[in-house]
A and B are shown apart, each in its own frame.
Chain A
């Protein structure tokens, strides 16, 4: 599903250049649930941004579902994001004046799905995350865990190839974190490919594979025995 070869990325900080990613090689098969771990500054968020086409790499190859991702302009990137990727952010990033169902329907608007179908699909995904009856509520009326579930529903609504989650539990307490991870595991069980960036060990162990990043290189990449989040909920 994802193939990355010798990926480099550096940021210019004034006259200095900060080499963040120093040759990343890694691939993800369909249906995997991968945790990307590392301390802050290890380059994990940068890697996720490049995977999410929110940022471009300096050199290296990146293939997503056998499509080379290279030299994208904003418009092309927007199209690919809409078609291939779903995002879940640490800070939820819901649009605060739109209700839960409208937030979930938004990526479908950009897929030019008509309003009625949008509404139906959005409700279906809200149902999956258990928030059907909260559909008309604004984000400000939802708890942190609920917001993140709405965000997950929104990411799923576009039916992406890959779900990218950037510290999805970073702003949540542990009980809510496990609820969210339970949801992510269930989505993965249904066959979806998911990448989770996290620095929490327990969250990482709820995935099926852990990739350790340190100073811009992968230092460890191992398959693990998945810990089910269900038992903590």
Chain B
């Protein structure tokens, strides 16, 4: 292995058989190249799909009422369910599940929003401070509604970036301006934007829930209950907690509002994580697909390398005969052929690896295709692949080399 004379002999052989060496190397390098690029894009798609779901907090639960569809305890179907403050409080306080954030929404009807004597067509919603996290809103200016606002029934409002653009374009900042909502003045305290572009949320003016219920005759009515669960690193665990919470909420609300347990439509619940799960499953499949293609590529590469080794050894049968007549030992010949092939496959394998990883590093971060974000590949995986290919090439080369070395010298010399 560390015999310098032998290395010199091997380099001689490589130098003088450039085409053969080049073709062997090319097949190995291209195999690795294709595999790395494929794996990279598989990872890119997974990154992309994950990014698409970063909009709303993935662990949130949204609850809103509807009309009953099933007759139950003497109550007719078609009855409209109205959620109340106490429903929210009960869930929040008695739940066996930890809620990181909990918020409610109240949508008052028939409110008029006026600014500078212009009638605005935006919706108004009452809420508390936790909504910001659940909706994944970020503040571009000022502050969000907080607990003190809710407690003191403060007449404050948070508007969206979209409203700022459309209404307050001439002002540096809308903070401190007053909106007149159904006759009462509301001071603007903050501007928010959302991570995912949701037109509905973007056209909304948020005020404290207590103020909304008080000012717009809402009493203790609410339209929407939202929770955010504590996120666990483990998707399965998160899913289990999510399902438990969903069940708990539905059971309680159905019982308290006289809804038949089998009535699926009276109380609606939406949890993005259940949707996300489908996509995670999908990325899993995509990843598997790319792996499958990758493994097939490797197999094709191994077969290719083996083929080339077979031909190389066949082509060198006569040379092997000559070398044996001149005093080469069989194992020495096998060793030399293998050493040469391992050297060539390893060098070209790593060349393919470095080339493809460089391309991924340079091109990857600039890729802007839907559902593909920053394609990249795990170095260990790629490295292992190169080793597998080199070892496979060596094993594939060993048998024909061993066979050739054992051929009778006379027969080897006769080989044309």
Name A's B-contacting residues (CB within 8 A).
49, 52, 54-55, 74-75, 78-79, 81-83, 87, 89, 91, 93-95, 97-98, 102, 106-107, 109-112, 114-115, 154, 158
Most buried by B among A83, A109, A115: A109
A54 and B9 within 8 A (CB): no
B324 neighbours in A (Cβ, 8 Å) = 74, 78, 81
Q: Mark B326-354, 1 if CB is under 8 A from A, else 0.
A: 11111110000000000000000000000
Q: Give A74 to B318 CA distance when docked, in angstroms.
A: 17
Which 4 pairs show the lowest CB-CB distances between chains A and B? A82-B327, A110-B327, A97-B16, A107-B326
B17 and A54 within 8 A (CB): no
B142-150, B246-254, B392-400, B405-413: which lies at the interface: B405-413
Find A74's partner among B13, B17, B406 (CB 8 Å cutoff).
B406
Query: Given A79-B327, A82-B327, A158-B326: A97 and B13 within 8 A (CB)?
Result: yes
B413 neighbours in A (Cβ, 8 Å) = 89, 91, 93
CB distance from B124 to the nearest CB of A (A): 87
Q: Give A95 to B336 CA distance when docked, in angstroms.
A: 16
B330 neighbours in A (Cβ, 8 Å) = 74-75, 78
The residue in chain B whose Cβ has the minimal distance to the Cβ of A76 is B329
The residue in chain A whose Cβ has the minimal distance to the Cβ of B319 is A95
A107 neighbours in B (Cβ, 8 Å) = 326-327
**8 cross-chain CB contacts under 8 A:** A54-B410, A74-B329, A82-B327, A93-B325, A98-B12, A107-B327, A115-B5, A115-B8
B16 and A81 within 8 A (CB): no
Q: Give A83 to B326 CA distance when docked, in angstroms.
A: 9
Find A106's partner among B321, B326, B408 (CB 8 Å cutoff).
B326
Q: Give A182 to B409 CA distance when docked, in angstroms.
A: 29
Q: Give A83 to B329 CA distance when docked, in angstroms.
A: 13
The residue in chain B whose Cβ has the minimal distance to the Cβ of A73 is B330
> Could you list 7 further interchain pairs (A-B, Cβ under 8 angstroms) beyond the known A93-B321, A97-B17?
A54-B410, A74-B330, A78-B324, A82-B326, A95-B319, A106-B323, A110-B323
B408 and A75 within 8 A (CB): no
Find B408's partner among A54, A78, A93, A94 (CB 8 Å cutoff).
A54
Most buried by A among B322, B326, B410: B326
- The majority secondary structure among interface residues of chain B is helix
Find A158's partner among B9, B327, B331, B406 (CB 8 Å cutoff).
B327
A109 and B5 within 8 A (CB): yes
What is the number of contacts between chain A and chain B, taking CB atoms within 8 Å? Answer: 68
A75 neighbours in B (Cβ, 8 Å) = 329-331
CB distance from B328 to the nearest CB of A (A): 5
Find A79's partner among B17, B319, B329, B410 (CB 8 Å cutoff).
B329
B12 neighbours in A (Cβ, 8 Å) = 98, 102
B321 neighbours in A (Cβ, 8 Å) = 93
A78 neighbours in B (Cβ, 8 Å) = 324, 327-330
A98 and B16 within 8 A (CB): yes
Q: Give A141 to B350 CA distance when docked, in angstroms.
A: 37
Query: Given A95-B319, A98-B16, A115-B8: A110 and B326 within 8 A (CB)?
Result: yes
CB distance from B329 to the nearest CB of A (A): 5
CB distance from A159 to the nearest CB of B (A): 12
The residue in chain B whose Cβ has the minimal distance to the Cβ of A154 is B326
B326 and A49 within 8 A (CB): no
A109 neighbours in B (Cβ, 8 Å) = 5, 9
The residue in chain B whose Cβ has the minimal distance to the Cβ of A91 is B413
The residue in chain A whose Cβ has the minimal distance to the Cβ of B4 is A115
The residue in chain B whose Cβ has the minimal distance to the Cβ of A96 is B319
Find B410's partner among A49, A106, A110, A111 (CB 8 Å cutoff).
A49
The residue in chain A whose Cβ has the minimal distance to the Cβ of B15 is A97
Q: Give A79 to B332 CA distance when docked, in angstroms.
A: 12
CB distance from B176 to the nearest CB of A (A): 87
B322 and A95 within 8 A (CB): yes
The residue in chain B whose Cβ has the minimal distance to the Cβ of A103 is B322
The residue in chain B whose Cβ has the minimal distance to the Cβ of A138 is B16
Q: Give A79 to B325 CA distance when docked, in angstroms.
A: 10
The residue in chain B whose Cβ has the minimal distance to the Cβ of A74 is B330
A154 neighbours in B (Cβ, 8 Å) = 326
Q: Give A54 to B412 CA distance when docked, in angstroms.
A: 11
Name B368-416 residues within 8 Å CB distance of A.
406, 408-410, 413
A111 neighbours in B (Cβ, 8 Å) = 327
Most buried by B among A89, A95, A102, A114: A95
Q: Give A87 to B326 CA distance when docked, in angstroms.
A: 8
B410 and A81 within 8 A (CB): no
B318 and A93 within 8 A (CB): yes
CB distance from A99 to the nearest CB of B (A): 9
A79 neighbours in B (Cβ, 8 Å) = 327, 329
CB distance from B8 to the nearest CB of A (A): 6
Most buried by B among A49, A74, A87: A74
Q: Give A49 to B13 CA distance when docked, in angstroms.
A: 29
B325 neighbours in A (Cβ, 8 Å) = 52, 54, 81, 87, 93
